[in-house]
Amino acid sequence: MHNDTIALAKALIARRSLTPFDNGCQEILISRLEPIGFHIERIRCGEVDNLWARRGTGSPLLCFAGHTDVVPTGPLDKWESDPFKPEIRDGKLYGRGAADMKGSLAAFVTAIEAFVAEHPNHGGSIALLVTSDEEGVATDGTVRVVEALKARNELIDYCIVGEPTCVDKLGDTIKNGRRGSLSGTLTVRGIQGHIAYPHLAKNPIHLAAPAIAELAQTQWDEGNEYFPPTTWQISNMNGGTGATNVIPGEVTLLFNFRFSTASTVESLKARVHEILNRQNLDYHLVWELSGKPYLTPRGDLVEAVSCAIRTLTRIEPQLSTSGGTSDGRFIADICPEVVEMGPRNATIHKLNEYVEVEDLKQLPQIYRLTLENLLLK
């Protein structure tokens, strides 16, 4: 199983699957899943390939979720080897997507194969949800599969997302939730004019400054046991004509909340509008919700994964909700228990991305033992 995992990871890395293109990766997975009894559904949306594969009809349903798309390579001359020609050097498997997350996909499949070979009549069901639209805009990927499953009332009991979560050693971190992401495009309007005649104009940057200061200093919540406090940050600010003698007519800010379950979308929006209105600003604000926060407290899934890690690595995993968003935010809509657990994340999205070969030997064992913990009760 160990060597097979590495070989499968290499086959996937060799596919140039820059988001949103799958480039045949899912067909490689299907060729392994169909012979062991998986029912295959290909769900294509625009340029995005999605896969829903399920073995069994009973409950509980344990789903492994991931993505085949990868981020751009960056300058090829900065790579020590071709990013789409996987290569093992010094105990590391190099290639774009090695850690994020073709190594996990390979481990999913070989773990399932080993489990089914040993327990062909296992209880419950096993599923694999794979998309090629996770690294991009994420509008035609996992969210579409979840919508299709929800429409036919096909719900998931447990889900493991194979995102790279670990820091120093394989198994040291399980993500049991993620913060939500709420963005805003704020335009504050003034009156354009000659900079030598400020009494004939209204500078929107000056007008917006007190509100910006208040927004930056506001404590939105205190977080909770699993989440740090909610944060608000400006990412872009643009105003002016480019001339040094013109007061601009408007200024536009792009900002983002990373928010915990201690706040809601509605409460954050209301507080922002209250501050802007109190400052008597003439403004226009467009909101965009990228994902709600989700949280899986300690329970069957967290314990099953933790037990597998402890058994195989002697490490006590830590629960974390740090980092950005993942497709877990969509799956949580139809699944009460979602966690992320995969290899170390030190090189994801970087030049010379790699996954430790030893991690690829242990990771499928962790997934296999988790299957036993949940489906052989």
Structure tokens, 342: 């995969």
Position of tokens 């990868």?
Answer: 70
CA 264, CA 234: separation in Å to the nearest integer? 19
The answer to whether 226 touches 176, Cβ cutoff 8 Å, is yes
3-state secondary structure (DSSP) of residue 128: strand
Does the active-site annotation cover 4?
no
Does the active-site annotation cover 69?
yes
Closest-CA residue to 374 (of 313, 318, 316, 299): 299
Residue 137: CB atoms within 10 A of its CB come to: 12
Q: Which residues is 25 bridged to in the sheet? A: none
Catalytic member of 22, 49, 69, 250: 69
Q: What is the DSSP letter of 35?
A: G
3-state secondary structure (DSSP) of residue 42: strand
CA 187, CA 282: separation in Å to the nearest integer? 9
What are the C-alpha distances in Å from 61 to residues 151, 336, 344, 375?
Answer: 17, 12, 27, 9
Catalytic member of 22, 113, 133, 134: 134
The CA-based angle 100-101-103, given to 5 degrees, is 120
CA 266, CA 246: separation in Å to the nearest integer? 38
Strands of the sheet with 180-189, listed across from one edge:
231-239, 250-259, 180-189, 283-291
What is the secondary structure of 230-263 as a DSSP string? PEEEEEEEEES-S-TTEE-SEEEEEEEEEE-TTS
Q: Which residues is 250 bridged to in the sheet? A: 189
**Residues designated as active site:** 69, 134
